[in-house]
């Protein structure tokens, strides 16, 4: 990819601290340490004949579904492998951190750990509630409910859990009575969940189930939306205005649902530039373009992209090669602008401590002074990298000069249009 050449060379020895005056500054500085617990030893003894019998039945079922599996190879994976395959966290199975989610409105985040517990950290409180539930296994995704202070949705292997964690309580171990268990036969493991931006609906997806579930959480009722093509649904994302929902499938196909009457259109995801041109013809929104990006470049090397809420910084996690020595995963950050034309300008690489690879990243949803990128590293650390800039959209704001400076500096030479990328 020629466009990476225009990036400033990564400083390998140091950890990236922040962006100021258009430059990424680095230093040796420790990030935030979540304490990991030793895994719970959950040992349930099963009678031998039962185990053998059920294994035989399962094998028979597997064999019967092998034809289906030959059409959709992901169906032959075991439940855990499937979660690892489709989780947003890189190398999910041996990662100390299983999932991460910022609260959309306040300074608090939830982290799922290897021992299937979830911890909640708040900015101005030392209490860190630990959430444990007997159904909470193989946590694959977390998301806080928008327009709500307490509800956290957890995608587990067998079900969907909705925790109601009272923000004012000082309890460190909320009881499992605070959790609602939502499950639907045939709908597991759940690998992706998405709250609607108004907080009224929750959509969940499983790679095994061709239907995605639209939950009315308070009523605990689900409406299945079934489309057979694609063999399952792996990833879900709402557009910020709540009018569209993207649903990706394990095969080369994804769907965009409109959320008024819940009809969908299929977007086959082929290699090649004709698709990008087609997208441009459709006068698509930024949201769709962004997800089109994910799905075109996942084929090559992109693994995760995250856009800050103001739409000015785009972080891309480039997946490394596990065989090669000198190919670690890195995060490349772009400056973006969506008007008058869509632009991508290189900003730099975000580096962690020596030997640590990024596994997951997410922008803080409402950082005051620019953007704040939170990165989960392979050694179990979580670091926050602030990007200080003034928004180009707020030119009448407090420091217009600075905003102009930060956005016009390298306009002249290295423009990256979408067509050039493709």
Partner 1 sequence: MIFECLVLLIAWSVLLLPVTAAVFVLLSRFSLFHPIQWISECTSLLTASSTIFSLVVLCGVVLITGLFNLEFYTLVPSIPCSRMALLGTVLHPRQCVHSLVYCTMGMLVMWCASVTIGGRYSTLGIPCRQSESGEVVTCLNEYHLFLLLAGAFMGYSHSFLGVVQNMYYVSFQPIQQYKYPRFKGCLPMVVKCSVIQSLYSARNFAALYFFFGYAPKTWISSTLHLQIDSSLQPLDSLTGLLDFSLLYHLTISGTFLYFTWYLTVLLFRIYVTEAYSFPVQSTFTEDAEQCLPKVLAETNTLVMKFFALQDLALLSQHSLSRRLEVFCLSQPGGHPHNWNAISRECLSLLSELTQRLVAHQDAVASNGRVKSQSASSDTRSASLSSSVMSGTEDIAETPRLGVPLRTPGSVFKSSVGGVHSALTAPFTPDVDSPFSSPAIRRLVGQQEPRSPWFGTVQSPHIMRRGPKLWSASTESQSNGSPPASPVTVPSPPAASEKPSFLAQWLQNRREQVKSFLAKRVLIVYLFNKLPEASSQALFADSQVHIWALQGLSHLVAASFSEDQFGVVQTTLPNILSCLVVLLEAVDRHFKLPHASSKPARAVCRMGDSTYKTLRFALRAALKTAIYKITTTFGEHLNAVNISTEHRKRLQQFLEFKE
Binding-site ranges for partner 1 (CB under 8 A) = 103, 105-106, 147-150, 167-168, 180, 198-201, 214, 216-221, 223-226, 242-243, 259-263
Q: How far is the CB of 108 from partner 1 (least distance, A)?
A: 9
Q: How far is the CB of 225 from partner 1 (least distance, A)?
A: 7
Q: How far is the CB of 242 from partner 1 (least distance, A)?
A: 8
Q: How far is the CB of 74 from partner 1 (least distance, A)?
A: 23
Locate tokens 């709908």: which residue?
187
Distance separating alpha carbons of residues 336 and 346, to the nearest angstrom: 9
The residue among 3 and 150 lying less far from partner 1, judged by its C-beta, is: 150
Q: How far is the CB of 255 from partner 1 (least distance, A)?
A: 13
The residue among 298 and 310 lying less far from partner 1, judged by its C-beta, is: 310
* CA-to-CA dists, residue 32 to 35, 121, 136, 170, 376, angstroms: 10, 11, 25, 22, 10
The residue among 200 and 338 lying less far from partner 1, judged by its C-beta, is: 200
The residue among 132 and 164 lying less far from partner 1, judged by its C-beta, is: 164
Structure tokens at 270: 């082929």
Q: Which of 156, 191, 195, 194 is nearest to 176 (CA)?
A: 156
The residue among 23 and 216 lying less far from partner 1, judged by its C-beta, is: 216
Q: How far is the CB of 141 from partner 1 (least distance, A)?
A: 21
**186 burial via Cβ count (<10 Å: 0-12, 13-18, 19+):** exposed
| Residue 23 CB partners (closer than 8 Å, separation 6+) | 348
Distance separating alpha carbons of residues 314 and 346, to the nearest angstrom: 9
The residue among 168 and 326 lying less far from partner 1, judged by its C-beta, is: 168
Task: State the angle between helix axes of 286-297 and 274-281 in degrees (0 to 180), rounded to the nearest 10.
Answer: 170
The residue among 225 and 330 lying less far from partner 1, judged by its C-beta, is: 225
Peptide bond into 189 cis (omega under 30): yes
Distance separating alpha carbons of residues 314 and 193, to the nearest angstrom: 22
Q: How far is the CB of 166 from partner 1 (least distance, A)?
A: 9
């Amino acid at each position: 990819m020629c466009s990476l050449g225009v990036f400033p060379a990564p400083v390998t020895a140091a950890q990236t601290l922040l962006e100021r005056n258009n430059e990424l500054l680095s230093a040796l500085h420790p990030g935030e340490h979540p304490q990991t617990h030793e895994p719970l030893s959950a040992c349930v003894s099963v009678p031998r004949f039962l185990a053998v019998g059920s294994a035989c039945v399962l094998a028979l079922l597997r064999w019967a579904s092998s034809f289906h599996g030959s059409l959709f190879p992901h169906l032959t994976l075991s439940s855990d492998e499937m979660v690892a395959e489709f989780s947003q966290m890189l190398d999910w199975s041996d990662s100390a951190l299983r999932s991460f989610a910022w609260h959309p409105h306040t300074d608090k985040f939830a982290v799922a750990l290897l021992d299937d517990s979830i911890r909640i950290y708040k900015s101005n409180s030392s209490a860190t509630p630990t959430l444990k539930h007997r159904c909470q296994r193989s946590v694959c995704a977390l998301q806080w409910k928008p327009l709500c202070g307490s509800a956290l949705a957890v995608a587990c292997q067998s079900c969907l859990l909705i925790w109601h964690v009272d923000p004012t309580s000082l309890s460190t171990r909320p009881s499992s009575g605070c959790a609602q268990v939502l499950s639907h036969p045939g709908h597991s493991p759940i690998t992706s969940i998405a709250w609607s931006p108004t907080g009224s609906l929750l959509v969940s997806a499983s790679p095994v189930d061709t239907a995605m579930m639209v939950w009315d959480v308070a009523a605990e009722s689900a409406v299945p939306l079934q489309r057979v093509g694609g063999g399952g649904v792996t990833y879900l994302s709402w557009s910020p205005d709540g009018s569209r929902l993207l649903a990706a499938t394990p095969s080369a196909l994804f769907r965009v649902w409109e959320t008024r009457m819940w009809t969908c259109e299929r977007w086959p995801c082929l290699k090649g530039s004709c698709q990008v041109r087609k997208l441009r013809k459709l006068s698509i929104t930024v949201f769709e373009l962004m997800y089109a990006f994910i799905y075109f470049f996942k084929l090559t090397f992109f693994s995760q992209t995250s856009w800050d809420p103001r739409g000015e910084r785009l972080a891309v996690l480039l997946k490394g090669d596990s065989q090669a020595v000198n190919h670690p995963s890195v995060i490349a950050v772009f400056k973006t602008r969506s008007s008058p034309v869509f632009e991508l300008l290189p900003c730099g690489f975000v580096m962690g401590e020596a030997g640590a690879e990024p596994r997951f990243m997410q922008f803080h949803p409402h950082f005051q002074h620019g953007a704040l990128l939170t990165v989960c590293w392979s050694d179990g650390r979580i670091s926050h990298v602030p990007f200080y800039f003034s928004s180009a959209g707020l030119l009448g704001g407090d420091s217009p000069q600075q905003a102009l400076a930060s956005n016009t500096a390298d306009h002249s030479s290295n423009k990256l249009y979408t067509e050039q990328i493709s």
